[in-house]
Structure 1
Amino acid sequence: MNNRQSISGIHHITAISSSASDNVAFYENVLGLRLVKQTVNFDDPFTYHLYYGDQQGTPGTILTFFPWSELPRGTVGAGMVTAIAFAIPAGSSDYWRQRLQDHQVATTSRTRFGDEVISFADPDGLTLELIAPQRLPQAKATDQAIRGFHSATELTRSLEGTSKLLIESLDMELHGQEQSRFRFAMTGDESPARFYDLVVDPQATEGRQGGGTVHHIAFRTPTDDAQLRWQDRLREDGYQVTAVRDRKYFRSIYFHEPGGVLFEIATDPPGFAIDEPPEKLGHTLQLPEQFESWRDKIVSRLPPLRQTPFVYRFVAAPQLETGGPTIVTLHGTGGDEHDLIPLAREISDEAAIISPRGQVRENGMNRFFKRLSAGVFDEEDLTSRAHRLADFLRTTAAEHRRSVDQLVALGYSNGANMAAALLFLRPETFSRAILLRPMLPLGRLPSVDLSDKEVLILRGRDDTVIPARSTDQLIKALADAGARLKVKEMAAGHELTPQDLEAAAHWLAEGATLHPAQ
């Protein structure tokens, strides 16, 4: 047997996440991967095992997750795979930097072995990288998708033991070195997913598994017979290798390498299409045969994979034109998607209206985000829901053939606070904003340029619900960010008055005159 042709690259990498729905949203919507299989953990059937990859579920493209919501975030350290790198087409780096920026994902860039590396993290803090290998074809404007894995990086205190395994037992070759990084190549072919990097740091602290860390990495072998020969060879070399385990979509053997990472050798067959057709991969929950009789119990305990869509109303513009503004109404606590539509129509009889309902329930009342107590907001929840709402508004506007560049917020109380948060967290969402009885929603504000935004704040002189100091802080924050502000104090409390509607209508009409739709 020629072992050099038996391992042709990375088969899959498995990591740990917290929220299943946040995980799906990120890897589907941000990275554009396909959920090719939703199943459960063989050892914990009440936990999902989610598989992402290319459209066919090809080995070498598969990143999988165990979403353990009760497990605390892990600590990256020695004895772990600390970064997962995907291959992207040559010339697509600018596209991916902009795409990640649009989704508020921070990135850094560097060069490694002559290739540009874009680094970022997923919602659980897992380090991801995008690498455009020079040998990949130039990207077409319409096809800049991730191609699969490029490499994985292990942090180790010592080079000796792991490098001996990689070279002498797994037939890899030392491909290159940059300072403390040693790159090993699997010699099966020239596929991008053939590199394994060791970063050596004798002082590195030991890692602790949890959310945002890698559980194990699997390497490819083409057949069951080849896998058995790898099992024999590794045992002969002194490694404690498990029996073959049937994972339904592949068969696996496991062992720990000297640095501490759990290695797996997995077969390419039978593949992910054995229980659902290729066009339906990932559509329904698939269970190992031994758990099929538990299906109802398992399904009842698994959380939904995708967030519940927003309930909303759309009111077309009277002229049925796609141009012109669209008012987005964001109700206050206890309101719903119907409440502010009459107000929006009084403010403008020409605009279309998108009116979503807040997805948080507090004592039976709808809100757009959680609060910890009166006037104290759950900022982590607020941030997450702001991004979700921004994505929904842009998608919904496009579906109704409305310009995403002419969305005007009309928010009252809790809805005004959400609109204010969106100005800072997703400034591309609104071109203008009418904030009725708002306060500062965030303690830590990102640095943004709002010089192209127009904001009207209508505050109540006798408002006993909204702290005046917090409204002052919001006004200052918007002014410091460059927003063109108009603030008017109304002879009212927290309730809205006809004078509020008159002031808002005048401001909106004045802006339409100054900045007519192109």
Structure 2
Amino acid sequence: MTSGIHHVTLITGNVQANVDFYVGFLGLRLVKRTGGYEDARQLHLFYGDYAASPGSLITFLVWQGGSSGQAGAGQVSELALAIAPGSIGYWLERALTHQVKVEGTSQEFGETVLRLRDPDGVIVKLVSANLPALTMPEIDIPADHAIRRIRGVTLLSEVQEETTAFLSRHFGFHPGPTEGPIQRLVSEVGDVLDIRDAAGFWPGAPGTGTADHVAVRANDAAEVEATAIELRKLNSSLTNLHDRQYFTSLYVREPGNVLIEVASDGPGFTLDETLDKLGQTLFMPPDTPDPEAMKVMLPQFGLPGEERVVYRDLIYKHRFFTPEDADGTTIALLHGTGGDETDLMPLAHRAAPKATLLGLRGRSTESGVQRWFRSFGPSIFDQKDIRFESGALDAFFQEIRSAYRLDPEKTVALGYSNGANLLGAALLLNPGFVRRAVLTRPVMVLDAVPETDLTGTSVLILLGKTDAFRPQGEKLADALRNRGAEVGVRLVATGHDLSDEDAPAIGDWLLT
């Protein structure tokens, strides 16, 4: 079996900061961007050397805005990268220049180590190690100081001896030196698994700033499958074999509960991109339903030197999607109950492929479900909260005009269900905060409607023919129309759910 580390997979909550650190600061190459194989709504980024070689690959699952985890027993706790002996001083100066958090230098197993923290808090160790250097992309880092490859990872195990025996027996590593509570395992190429005795440690909690797994190398798919057969004979841990398109992988938990992947060296990342174009195209897993819709929901970012959205800390959490051929129109999206800022992006993109999309996240939660305002029961709405959140929505639209220089004449608001309910109420309570709006499956939620003037406001209301809430939607349409708004109502062949008729209807209306 080929011996060594194939890749390490971690979790980030801020894709732009992650790219800036691993590409901009460390000098790695972004070699692949895909939707997640377990969840296509999750962006997966791969960094490595220029050729995307096994042994250089660091991958991240993007939980944008997700909660932080905690490294503990049963997890990988540290990532070590090899640099040339004598390069510590260069990297210390570079870290200070780039305002990267430094935790200091030390000696470990006779090697000088510089400890850093990435933007999510992951410990990244730069280790002066005389390992074979892989070819990194040419940027502002001198070749003599460039990252060489993965040096190793630290595993926290409550059963150190069992973990050491398991990894040595099945994955081609052999026992190396011991230092304090750490037993080192060494591969044929010299990278290492450091097994730290974590007896009595707190258990690890998954989340941003933690590692998901470490992958060890196999020559090819046949070797991965042979390893699967061997491990199944032990009947000690569940194994899962997968075709990950760029490599075949097998997942297993070792006795200390750390997730280990066995990944084949091939076919590799040039399967669907040429070497010089690696990392430029977003790919979706082959079995992804409606892949174009999924792409719209994934967070965007810019490589160093490219344009990117500089997000502001505003009233509502939000996310942009900007198409390549944006026409200057912006559609602000308010999701339904239980949704998030990405839910309506596929609908809006189908309706207006050249529009920039701005997804908002509601601030109210009930029983863990995301909403826009509180309710006291079925169709019993908190009137005070509706008015408060309507004012917040008005203020948010004022903020985005300044923060992102959005043209109010080219800004449209689109809400669904609970989001449409708040949007409809806000139009009645705060006339003029947006001049064009689409309300899909809304209801009237205001007990008392003020006598405001909505002249100059244009609204499209999409109601389901069989929707039990349709009469309340028609009541809202009448209230808006009676106050001067230009209101178009269209019935679609569905209930309260969205349908295939919605996007074309919205698209036609936007062109009027």
Could you state the TM-score of these two structures normalised by the residue count of structure 1? 0.57
In 2, distance between residues paired with 1:276 and 1:177?
Answer: 43
SS in structure 2 at match of 1:8: coil
Distance 1:243 1:155 in 2: 22
Q: Is the 8 A contact 2:14 2:65 kept in 1?
A: no
**Secondary structure at the counterpart of residue 217 of structure 2:** strand
One-letter code aligned to 1:296: E
Tell me by how many angstroms 1:177 deviates.
0.5
**What is the match of residue 7 of structure 2?**
12
Matched residue type, 1:182: Q
* Residue 401 of structure 2 is aligned to residue 364 of structure 1: yes
Match of 2:30 among 29, 35, 38: 35
Q: Is the 8 A contact 1:169 1:237 kept in 2?
A: no
Residue equivalent to 1:150? 151
> Offset at 1:7?
3.1
Question: Would the aligned equivalents of 2:216 and 2:263 in 1 still touch at CA under 8 Å?
Answer: yes
Correspondence 1:270 to 2:267: yes
d(CA) in 2 for partners of 1:201, 1:177 = 15
Give the 3-state SS of the residue equivalent to 1:149 in structure 2.
strand
CA distance in 1 between counterparts of 2:275 and 2:404 reads 40
| Contact kept? 2:171, 2:216, Cα under 8 Å | no
Query: Kindly, what percent of the aligned residue pairs are identical?
Result: 34
The aligned amino acid for 2:158 is R
Counterpart of 1:289 in 2: which secondary structure?
coil
- Aligned pairs for 1:113-512 within 5 A: 113-134=109-130, 141-186=142-187, 189=188, 191-192=189-190, 194-291=191-288, 294-306=290-302, 309=307, 362=399, 364-366=401-403
- Amino acid of the structure 2 residue aligned with 1:209: P
Amino acid in the other structure paired with 1:196? L
Distance 2:403 2:250 in 1: 50
Q: 1:116–1:131: 8 Å Cα contact kept in structure 2?
A: yes
Residues 1:109 and 2:105 aligned together: yes
SS in structure 2 of the partner of residue 49 of structure 1: strand
- Rounded Cα–Cα distance in structure 2 between residues aligned with 1:97 and 1:361: 43
* Alignment partner, residue 87 of structure 1: 82
In the superposition, relative to structure 1, how do residues 201 and 289 fare at CA in structure 2: closer, same or farther (>3 Å)?
Answer: closer
Contact kept in structure 2, 1:27 and 1:52, CA below 8 Å: yes
List runs of 5+ in structure 2 lacking aligned partners.
Answer: 136-140, 310-396, 406-512
Q: Secondary structure at the match of 1:21?
A: helix
SS of equivalent to 1:362: helix
8 Å CA contact 1:89–1:136 kept in 2: the answer is: no
Bigger mean CA offset, 75-84 vs 166-175:
166-175
Report what 2:16 is aligned to. 21
Q: Indicate if the aligned counterparts of 2:3 and 2:172 stay in contact, CA closer than 8 A.
A: no
For the pair 1:64 / 2:53, whether they are aligned, the reply is no
Once the 2 structures are TM-superposed, how far is the Cα of residue 26 of structure 1 from its aligned partner?
1.3
Write out per-residue CA displacement over residues 107-141 of structure 1, whole angstroms, 9 at most, x where no aligned residue. Answer: 2110111111111111011111111114668x995
The amino acid of 2:154's aligned partner reads: T
Shift of 1:257: 0.7
Following TM superposition, by how much is the alpha carbon of 1:299 offset from its aligned partner in structure 2, in angstroms?
A: 2.1
1:86–1:149 contact (8 Å) kept in structure 2: yes
Q: How far, CA to CA, are the matches of 2:212 and 2:129 in structure 1? A: 26
TM-score, length of structure 2 as denominator length: 0.57
Q: What is the SS of the residue equivalent to 1:71?
A: coil
Shift of 1:252: 0.5
**CA contact 2:158–2:198 (8 Å) conserved in 1:** yes
Matched with 1:350 is none
> SS in structure 2 opposite 1:100?
helix
Following the alignment from structure 2 to structure 1, what is the Cα–Cα distance between the partners of residues 224 and 52? 20
| Contact 2:64–2:299 (8 Å) recurs in 1 | no
* Counterpart-to-counterpart distance in 1, 2:142 and 2:76: 33
Letter of the aligned partner of 1:299 in structure 2? K
SS at match of 2:114: strand
Distance (Å, rounded) in 1 between the aligned partners of 2:73 and 2:262: 22
Instruction: Report the residue type matching 2:15 in the other structure.
Output: A
Q: Which amino acid aligns with 2:84?
A: P
1:37 partner amino acid: K
- Corresponding residue for 1:99? 94
Paired with 1:204 and 1:283, the residues of 2 have a C-alpha distance of: 41
Aligned CA distance change for structure 1 residues 275 and 135 (closer, same or farther; 3 Å): closer
In structure 1, list runs of 5 or more residues that go unmatched: 1-5, 312-359, 369-518
Counterpart CA distance in 2 for 1:142 and 1:149 is 16
- TM-superposed CA distance for 1:144, in Å, is 1.6
State how far apart, in whole Å, the 2-side matches of 1:172 and 1:366 are.
53
Distance 2:119 2:52 in 1: 23
Q: Distance in 1 between matches of 2:89 and 2:24?
A: 18
Q: Answer yes or no: is the 8 Å Cα contact 2:35–2:295 preserved in 1.
A: no
**Distance in 2 of aligned mates of 1:96 and 1:113:** 20
Contact 2:242–2:248 (CA under 8 A) maintained in structure 1: yes
Contact 2:237–2:254 (CA under 8 A) maintained in structure 1? no
What is the CA distance between 1:92 and its match in structure 2?
1.4
- Rounded to whole Å, the distance in 1 between the matches of 2:129 and 2:17 is 29
Contact persistence 1:115–1:134 (CA under 8 A): no
Deviations 1:58-102 (A, max 9, x none): 011110011112431001111110001011122211111111111
Contact 1:176 1:182 in 2 (8 A): yes
SS in 1 for 2:119: coil
Please tell me whether the aligned partners of residues 241 and 253 of structure 1 are also in contact (alpha carbons under 8 angstroms).
no
- CA deviation map 1:283-316 (0-9, x unaligned): 010122222x6232112211212287389xxxxx
